[in-house]
Amino acid sequence: MSYLEELNNAQREAVVNTDGPTMIVAGPGSGKTRVLTYRIAHLLNQGADPFSILALTFTNKASEAMRERIEKIAGTNARNLYMGTFHSVFARILRVEAQKIGYPSNFTIYDTDDSRSLIKTIIKEQGLDDKIYKPNQIQWRISAVKNALITPQQYAEDSELITEDRNQRRPATANLYKIYCERCFKSGAMDFDDLLLNTHLILEKFPEVLYKYQHKFKYVLIDEFQDTNYLQYAIVKKIADVFQNITVVGDDAQSIYAFRGATIDNILNFEKDFPDLKVYKLEQNYRSTQNIVKAANELIHRNKNQLKKEIWTENGKGELIKIVRTPSDNEEGRWVADSITELKMREHFRNSGFAILYRTNAQSRAFEEALRRHNIPYKIYGGMSFYQRKEIKDLLAYLKLTVNFYDEEALKRIINYPARGIGQSTLDKIIITATNENKRIWDVLEEIHYFDVPTRTKNAIEEFVLMIKSFAAQSLKMNAYDLASHIGKTTKLISELYNDKTVEGVSRFENVQELLNSIKEFVEDDEVQQPDITEEGEVLNNDKSLGTFLQTVTLLTGDEKDTANQDTVKLMTVHAAKGLEFPVVYVVGMEENLFPGQQSLYSMEDLEEERRLFYVAITRAEKRLFLTYANTRYKFGQLNYCDPSRFLQEIPENVITHHGEMKRAKIHERTNTLLSGLSRAPLTKAPAAPSSPSASGEPFVADDASGLQAGMEVMHEKFGEGKVVSIEGVGANKIAAIHFNGYGIKKIMLKFAKLKILSGGM
């Protein structure tokens, strides 16, 4: 058969041995999709009934692509396969069986928005505070317990869950779960989790239904098995129990979705459920160079919980992996943009050949800004541009309105966010009044006491106007960062985001903190990238006001282009990058408490998942791999000195090279305490960093730099030791060009400089 000739020996074995429990452990770039596709096609070519094959994937796109490939090999029979996502296949089964548990066969499926809307209604009906019982948090809680097979009755009887809710000041959660399930049932509706839960319930309660599907599906195949949760596996294990022709394909080293409920135990303990298991390991990597493959192997071997395998490749050795240290996160963004520009010119890569991978969405800002400055088109994969995110637009709208009361788009956006009792109908009346009387909306708001508006609404509007005016008054004495922080706190926008502990809520809070960090850096940054200097030496762009910051953002983002059909650099989280590959990959923000994240330092399991996440990141690269980190990063408005990630020190020295001397990790005592008992890799030797004011632990005290001259040696808080090359400008607007070891020449405005003078000049 010609299609078998396309496979290597390990792949062929995994395709042709179709009977009995089988696990195909597929390393990155090993042809996993091809093997699964060809195995199903081979079953059809060997005479298997397509209606007897159940194939489960995690995305519709994956199942459609597989079906097309199978059809090319095995013909139109492939159209009769029971193939699709867990939810789509189980919904299909429930259309036939749902009446057994009291649902109509034409039951409605609630999407996430429908589900959240119902929860909002129930919270309101129960007279509960939606600031404590946040609908998306209650929705997340209900989803989690459903996937753990916990019914409303079991929830109410579980003392641990009830105590947890009480500690979070949400004791009514169990009752909300019960009412939510009752309302869904009355409406003849199931949410996405019900599609799994009710399938399991029917198979559990009705033996004849279980018997029917056990004998219907002679072959069960599951893609990305390491991403399955407890409930998904519980269902397929029941269905496959009779014939035991169950095939699971996956890679334990790429199990990175614990936050979604996935459990690595399913793949690690699969053999316990199926003792006759045959295991096929796909270990040849067709994607990456030898250096990248070696780095990945050395890294993942440090995990204790794993299925042992040794990835190898016949590809060339390739370039060394470059570890890059930069002074700050903004410098990190600039370095990556410079590197992309250089590689495009020197090696003729297309934009689409580059990917920038980060641990958290908030990190995208520095790279977006740097790419824009270089006129490099980019696209956020699986998300949206930093300045297009709702939470960023909301805070920026407050800042814009503070600077300009007449910015009507900003005003309309946040007049009732967070909610303050100014409804849309009231706003519509105000807009109509402003139009009829040829006034600005703000003017009408200022005169609201003259209008026929309910007293409660009138008071809310007057408080809003007074608040915005107070922000404007404070802008005369506060710098941009202090004012933005004050606005975020006073409006309760920050606390609103902070209190949302869902994955999405945490990400939104991080994004707003990153915006504040960028304002702090704008205020404190004494480097002038492109100074505008008059003939008299006057610097025109040294204004650190909120208005100047907003102007900078607007100029940076004002040329948003549709990149749908453009050749673009891709930016994404590492989670979003799984399954993708690129010729050149930058894994950025490789610092302790960022990657691995601080939350992962409390247990071995969490730390090992972070290492698997880094493994996924580096195995996306085909030819070139860059790992970057910053010496300093603003966090909650404070400049923090960063330690390089321990993962960088788990990569063998003979496959890496350094750009900028690698700063030795100084792990804090608190982290050591948290990690006592956890295995940590010994630190590999690397050149010491330039002497830094933070190294001694003493606070950095800057000298008066007004008398700085060419030839003087200085110490900078971020860049370390340097030598003054020249002085430009006069008086308070002097700018020094200083050469710093490892960083080149930086132009520093003396008015804002943080310099310690080490020696005199010529």
As annotated, the active-site residues are 32-33, 223-224, 254, 620
| Amino acid identity at 189 | A
Bond into 418 cis (ω within 30)? yes
The residue type found at 157 is E
Instruction: Please say whether the beta carbons of 176 and 122 come within 8 A.
Output: yes
Rounded to 5°, the CA angle 605-611-612 comes to 90
- C-alpha closest to that of 493 among 392, 384, 400, 638: 392
Cα→Cα distances 42→31, 37, 57, 71, 188, Å: 16, 9, 18, 11, 41
Distance CA 29, CA 585 (A): 15
The b/e string for 359-394 (b: 16+ C-beta within 10 A; e otherwise) is bbbbbbbbbbbbbbeeebebbbbebebbbebebbeb
**In whole angstroms, what is the distance from residue 655 CA to residue 320 CA?**
5
Residue 145 · residue 157 · CB < 8 Å: no
Q: Which candidate, 180, 211, 214, places its Cα nearest to that of 197?
A: 180
If DSSP codes are grouped into helix, strand and coil, which group holds residue 579? coil
d(CA 580, CA 126): 46
Residue 482 contacts by C-beta under 8 Å, 6 or more apart in sequence? none
Partner residues linked to 284 by β-bridges: 312
**Distance between CA atoms of 370 and 355, rounded to whole angstroms?**
14
Task: Give the pair of three-digit tokens for residue 111.
Answer: 């999407």
Q: DSSP 3-state helix, strand, coil percentages of the chain (rounded to 5)?
A: 50, 15, 35
Between the CA of residue 48 and those of 51, 301, 549, 699, what are the distances in Å?
Answer: 9, 39, 66, 74
Q: Are 315 and 284 in contact (CB under 8 A)?
A: no
Cβ distance 230 to 261 under 8 Å? yes
- Gap between the Cα atoms of 568 and 356, Å rounded: 11
